[in-house]
Amino acid sequence: DADVTQTPRNRITKTGKRIMLECSQTKGHDRMYWYRQDPGLGLRLIYYSFDVKDINKGEISDGYSVSRQAQAKFSLSLESAIPNQTALYFCATSRDTSTDTQYFGPGTRLTVL
Amino acid sequence: KNQVEQSPQSLIILEGKNCTLQCNYTVSPFSNLRWYKQDTGRGPVSLTIMTFSENTKSNGRYTATLDADTKQSSLHITASQLSDSASYICVVSFILTGGGNKLTFGTGTQLKVEL
């Protein structure tokens, strides 16, 4: 987990606020991902990036945006947070092969009131 | 619809005992299957990955099996320890039309190992 870090680890915010979650990695991987995890559901992909400036939508991208300005950093933004975005958010990285393992960060617990 | 179902949803065993977790999937076309361990408050950590041609893979006390014909996988934990208490997540990768892979995550089996 130390190779993939996420900030903040916990955040409580109010409806309508703009929130940014940061992910940094020292593994030198090209591919980075943002997931959310909700109780009783599997992890779901929000956005992913295969290289700097490359952005791809996942299965639940509505209400989110991302930025990949450097290989080591991938940020997730909630432009106007709503309560159903309350969840555990994970960043992950992998090398550029389809069968390669994804390495997850420690997660950010976000609560939207 | 591509799905991954895990059973049981939760399991309690005594330290030192063995256990087996199940994963059934309907993902197609199949690329690979992974098992992850997720400790409470932490990100998932990879235990094993198996491609179509592999039917067993071990990582210490963890042994995963794959039957691609019946679309079933199992994770067997031998001589369980308190530190095995965690959620175990089955993840199946399928091949997208046009190239690339997509991961489908199961909801996990919550294992608790007690003294």
Residue A1 predicted with pLDDT over 60: no
Q: What is the pLDDT of residue A97?
A: 65
In eight-state DSSP terms, residue B21 is E
Alpha-carbon gap, residue B107 to A98, rounded angstroms: 22
User: Cα separations (Å) of B107 from A37, A113, B67?
Assistant: 9, 25, 20
Given phi > 0 = left and psi -120 to 50 = alpha, else beta, which region is B7?
beta
- Answer whether A99's CB lies under 8 Å from B51's CB: yes
Each residue's pLDDT tens digit, A30-53:
999 999 999 888 899 999 998 898
CA angle B72, B106, A8 (to 5 degrees): 150
Across A32-36, B14-18, B26-30, B111-115, least confident range: B26-30
Chain B partners within 8 Å of A41 (Cβ): 107
Indicate the average pLDDT of chain A: 92
24-63 of B, contacting A, C-beta below 8 A? 31-32, 34, 41-46, 49, 51
Q: Which pLDDT score is estimated for B99?
A: 63
pLDDT at A108: 97
Report CB contact under 8 Å: B46, A98.
no
pLDDT at A95: 85
Whether A79 has a pLDDT exceeding 80, the answer reads yes
Q: How many A×B Cβ pairs under 8 Å?
A: 48
Q: What pLDDT was estimated at residue A99? A: 66
pLDDT for B33-86, tens place per residue? 999 999 998 999 999 999 888 999 999 999 999 998 999 999 999 999 999 999
Q: Under 8 Å CB-to-CB from A39, ≥6 apart: which residues?
A: none
Percent of chain A beyond pLDDT 70?
Answer: 95
Q: Which of B89, B97, B96, B73 is nearest to B25 (CA)?
A: B73
* pLDDT above 70 coverage of chain B, percent: 94
What does the pLDDT read at residue A101?
84
Look at A42 and B4 and tell me if their CB atoms are within 8 Å.
Answer: yes
- C-beta atoms surrounding A59 within 10 Å: 10
Q: Quick check: A107 and A43 in contact, CB under 8 A?
A: no
